[in-house]
Amino acid sequence: MDDIIIPSGSNSAPSTISFDDLQEMEADLTVQMLQKVFSNFECMRRNSQLCDVRIKCQNSYFLAHRCVLAAAIPYFNAMFSTEFVETEMEECEIQEMSSDCLEAIIDFVYTGKIHLTIQNVTDLLVAADFFNLELLSTECANFLTLKITHYNVLDIRQMALRHNCKKAVRAADRFIQRHFVAISETPLFLKLDLEQITEFLGMDELHAESEEEIYQAAIRWLKYLPERREVASKLLQNVRLTLLDKTFLIDEVATNSIIHNSISCRDLFDEVKEFHLIPERRQKLSKFRLESRHCSEIPGIIYACGGLGMNTDCRPASKAEMYDPLAKKWMPINSMNSVRTRVGVSALNGKLYVMGGYNGEVRLSIVEVFDPKRNEWSNALPILTKRSAMATVVYRDKIYVIGGFDGKSLADVESYSPITGERKFLFPMRSPRSAAAAVVLKGCIYVIGGHNSCAIYNSVEKYDFQTGQWTILKPMKKPRCRHAAVVYDDNIYVIGGYDGREFLSCTEVYDPETNSWKDGPSMNLKRGRVSACVNGNAIYAVGGYHGEMKYCSMEILQMQPEPKDLFNKNVKLGDGKMRKHELVWRMGPKMQLHEGGVSIAVIPISPKKLCSISQCEEDEEEMIRKTNALNLDDSESEGLYRLTE
């Protein structure tokens, strides 16, 4: 076999490669080839070469290639490959859009580029929906999410619903939840129909200073048209009337003419009075939603307690501290009344509930409540079973205490209502579990992993509040105990833990829609006995233990770019594009008072505080923008899609 002589440079001998060394090679030039082919197709179209169809739209005609249109657009694929009249005709007509819109779509098919503006995006979205062109629909939806404001979000949401743009609907809903009070003062809000405003008032994540602001929005809508008074009772059932301040109830609600002149509204008001005046009857008044609203995308204060004190010999601590994500630092708060670790912690209606735990000698059933407004702890009714290492979750107005350890691993689950004082057992889990993790998602409790003192589980159970039954789901890839779990964007993130051989830094992500698991980004440190929460658009993993060292550190996984304006979801970059966000855990500030396994929960920051911070940042940004504008020419102010308004 002949050899190939390859020169290797002027100062060295040539190298020799035998043909025997080159058995085969596969070159993948897909991208380059496609670009070349479509570039040639575009040149041929512009020069009217080999075009075999002419499309009429209004008074304009467009030449194109059937094969290109059919390959790119499902509408034309059906037209040219079935028994439509147009199959053999050299000319077809499109009447459902403007000629400018059709021209833009044909250009998009041949070049992959589209020029989106505020003026044309609606027409292009309608056209993309007509042609079943999902790629363009998605791009239009992305553009719309960048342009959402208080004044157009309701229109954008309706348009996105009409054309099944789920991403744009979700973005609009999140914006409405963050800005509901301001949106309720716009003219478009007053023009919503009953079904639409009922949907908004029923949202759990509306961001408001108090329920009084939600009530006032409902009253403004009712007053806009006289005939709406007939549906006042139906609408007001979506306002959480039992959360209204008692003085507000007497001074504002009882004297409102709409309520005063409606028998059904007066009946509703009487039930609210009964709720406040006769607490023992509250359990029977099931129509009322008793939990306060909480917008998960708005950052809150993280509270940590129930861990091990600093520089101690692994003894439980009574100390507690809080992390302010705006100041980016931990600060001490008043200590609990009792010393304990491995507690269950949940936040409900602006207060922190610390349940059960272990004081170094015995398991506990005590419950303490922290009121951030007063910076003080108080005792509440105990849970029904003494336990530690349990999971706690909040669903509606109740806290659910799940599994744990009382000398043996537990399968029982109890509900705890701070408002009514009701405590009762639910149907037990299929397996006893201590050191498990639990979350609530779409009306179900998910309990993940844990151990039974003999084996560590990778199994998952789901409790459906509708059926009152537990079902087994697809197991995790790894068995875990002493781990954490959170919900973000309807997926469950399982973080750290211990698998019986080693402590873990890895995460797994569960999609309930597909009942499937995938790997998530790993933390920087291996952490067992870790606690986690979602706060704003980030996941926080706090504390932990890796077998030799207790951690006071924290890691943060920013799920979306972190904007300066706390109310905006998207970062608008100078090039008009949304840059791909990398999911990487980053180290955050260390706790001051704890080491090892703490339990954490989040209480929302006051909207007034957020508004004041956001306004200061907006004023600063406006000053910078005006200064920079003096040095910008027109070309620098346009983005990828030329975001003209």
The string of DSSP codes covering 622-641 is HHHHHHHHTT--GGGG--TT
CATH value of 300-559+583-610 in 1.10.1040.50, 3.40.50.720, 2.120.10.80, 1.10.150.120: 2.120.10.80
Is a pLDDT exceeding 90 seen at residue 342?
yes
Share of the chain above pLDDT 90, in %: 58
Average pLDDT, the chain: 85
pLDDT in tens, 387-437: 999 999 999 889 999 999 999 999 999 999 998 899 999 999 999 999 999
Enumerate residues 6+ apart whose C-beta is below 8 A from 402. Answer: 390, 391, 392, 393, 413, 429, 433, 436, 438, 445, 447
Q: Which of 170, 299, 177, 179 is nearest to 558 (CA)?
A: 299
> Could you tell me the residue ranges of all domains in the chain?
30-185, 194-284, 300-559+583-610
Is a pLDDT exceeding 80 seen at residue 630?
no
CA–CA distance from 379 to each of 218, 280, 360, 501 (Å)?
A: 37, 20, 20, 40
Is a pLDDT exceeding 80 seen at residue 270?
yes
Q: Is the pTM value of this prediction over 0.85? A: no
Q: Would you call 180 helix, strand, or coil by DSSP?
A: helix
Q: What is the pLDDT of residue 277?
A: 84
**Alpha-carbon distance 272 to 270, whole Å?**
5
* Spatial contact of 508 and 519, defined as CB atoms under 8 Å apart: yes
Q: Which of 380, 376, 378 is nearest to 366 (CA)?
A: 380
| Confidence at 15, pLDDT banded by 50, 70, 90 | low
Assigned token pair, 92: 């077809």
pLDDT in tens, 116-141: 988 899 899 999 989 988 889 888 88
Q: What distance lies between CA 426 and its chain's CA centroid? A: 29
Assigned token pair, 341: 């670790």
The answer to whether domain 194-284 has CATH 1.10.510.10 is no
* Spatial contact of 135 and 163, defined as CB atoms under 8 Å apart: no
**Alpha-carbon distance 52 to 255, whole Å?**
74
pLDDT in tens, 440-452: 999 999 999 999 9
**Alpha-carbon distance 477 to 507, whole Å?**
10
Architecture of domain 30-185: 2-Layer Sandwich (3.30)
Q: Which of 515, 561, 610 is nearest to 181 (CA)?
A: 610
| Confidence at 275, pLDDT banded by 50, 70, 90 | confident
| Confidence at 274, pLDDT banded by 50, 70, 90 | confident
What is the average per-residue pLDDT within 533-538?
A: 92
Enumerate residues 6+ apart whose C-beta is below 8 A from 440. Answer: 393, 394, 395, 446, 487
| Confidence at 645, pLDDT banded by 50, 70, 90 | very low
Is a pLDDT exceeding 70 seen at residue 58?
yes
